[in-house]
């Protein structure tokens, strides 16, 4: 017994042919196969589909209606598989999960993803912003962007830039409390502080020669670097922030660098992806474009 989809295919060809023999020739099948398919379909629908005579067969009015519906159904069915076949051929259609720190993600990753989506609308982008290292398997992450370092051998990491950390304050703050002359002087002026989402503690400030300082007079505390930058711009306190956040404000004169001789060694920004199985073309495309753009000083301003 033929399946129903195959019966509909044979019926549509028969409806367009002068005889079942002609339909069989077009289908590269026997006339008996065509006759049997039509009979089985007529039994299923409970209506005659053709008027038969010794000379010819002629489709019935009900058969015409069914043929129209069958062509639409078969067309949709074929398009479905053609669409999936195209996806399988180029590998561009489907989901790509990306994670990045909130400030980097909003400013530099999101515009790039929007550009990629315009070029490849079949790619579905799923972006998660978090300042914590995300487990790629649990969160279904294909690509990540991070600051600092990565030692987990489950990941392939590509360094994209070295990011300086600057201690900055607004001109109004400097006029009010003066510029700190050394690291210890930071304990006598208002500062901002960033909470480490992994520990709930304040991030220490780092300086040259491995020196660190825990802010003791934090006038403003937050878990979001962009929020901290806004507080520094408002004159709330001095802050130690990555250059990609403050460089435009230093260039415009809204912020001033201090303690230049004690600046922290630059942190590394990198893109990473899990080291598991074959990499789809869409993941490779997004990963390579991220590495390219995040390595471009014109895309990520790092120096005042």
CATH code (residue 77)? 1.10.10.10
pLDDT at 60 over 80: yes
Q: What is the pTM of this model?
A: 0.64
Residue where one domain finishes, among candidates 90, 114, 141: 90
Distance CA 124, CA 109 (A): 15
> Residue 238 falls within a domain, yes or no?
yes
> Residue 190 falls within a domain, yes or no?
yes
> Residue 122 falls within a domain, yes or no?
no
pLDDT in tens, 21-41: 888 888 888 888 999 999 999
Strands 239-242 and 155-169: antiparallel
pLDDT above 90 covers what percent of the chain? 45
> Residue 95 falls within a domain, yes or no?
no
Domain enclosing residue 14, as ranges = 4-90
> Residue 168 falls within a domain, yes or no?
yes
Distance CA 282, CA 288 (A): 10
**Does residue 176 share a domain with residue 84?**
no
CB 58 within 8 A of CB 48: no
CB 27 within 8 A of CB 61: no
Distance CA 57, CA 23 (A): 11
pLDDT at 134: 54
pLDDT at 53 over 80: no
CB 10 within 8 A of CB 23: yes
DSSP, collapsed to helix, strand or coil, labels residue 57 as strand
pLDDT at 267 over 80: yes
Total domain count for the chain?
2
DSSP, collapsed to helix, strand or coil, labels residue 38 as helix
Among 96, 155, 114, CA closest to 282: 96
> Residue 59 falls within a domain, yes or no?
yes
Among 240, 222, 227, CA closest to 183: 240
pLDDT at 199: 82
> Residue 112 falls within a domain, yes or no?
no
Among 45, 73, 50, 254, CA closest to 170: 254
- Averaged pLDDT score across all residues of the chain: 86
pLDDT at 137 over 50: no
Distance CA 168, CA 183 (A): 13
> Residue 31 falls within a domain, yes or no?
yes
pLDDT in tens, 282-300: 999 999 999 999 999 888 8
Helix (H), strand (E) at residue 301 = none
CATH code (residue 228)? 3.40.190.10
């Amino acid at each position: 017994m033929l399946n129903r989809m195959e019966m509909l295919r044979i019926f549509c060809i028969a409806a367009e042919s002068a005889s079942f023999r002609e339909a069989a020739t077009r289908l590269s099948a026997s006339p008996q196969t065509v006759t049997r398919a039509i009979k089985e379909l007529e039994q299923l629908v409970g209506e005659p589909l053709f008027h038969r005579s010794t000379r010819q067969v002629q489709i019935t009015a009900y058969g015409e209606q069914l043929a129209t519906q069958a062509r639409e159904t078969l067309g949709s069915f074929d398009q479905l598989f053609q669409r999936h076949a195209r996806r399988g051929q180029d590998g561009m259609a489907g989901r790509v999960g990306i994670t990045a720190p909130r400030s980097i993600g909003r400013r530099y990753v999101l515009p790039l993803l929007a550009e990629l989506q315009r070029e490849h609308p079949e790619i579905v982008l799923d972006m998660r912003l978090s300042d914590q290292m995300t487990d790629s398997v649990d969160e279904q992450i294909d690509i990540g962007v991070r600051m600092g370092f990565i030692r987990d051998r489950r990941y392939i990491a590509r360094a994209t830039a070295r990011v300086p950390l600057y201690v900055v304050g607004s001109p109004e703050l400097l006029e009010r409390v003066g510029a700190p002359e050394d690291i210890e002087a930071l304990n006598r002026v208002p500062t901002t502080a960033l909470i480490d989402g992994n520990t709930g503690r304040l991030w220490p400030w780092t300086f040259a020669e491995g020196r660190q300082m825990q802010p003791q007079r934090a006038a403003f505390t937050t878990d979001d670097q962009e929020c901290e930058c806004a507080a520094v711009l408002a004159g709330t306190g001095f802050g130690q922030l990555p250059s990609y956040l403050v460089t435009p404000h230093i260039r415009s004169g809204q912020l001033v660098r201090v303690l230049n001789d004690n600046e922290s060694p630059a942190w590394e920004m990198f893109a990473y992806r899990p080291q598991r199985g074959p990499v789809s073309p869409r993941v490779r495309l997004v990963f390579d474009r991220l590495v390219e753009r995040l390595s471009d000083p014109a895309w990520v301003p790092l120096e005042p």
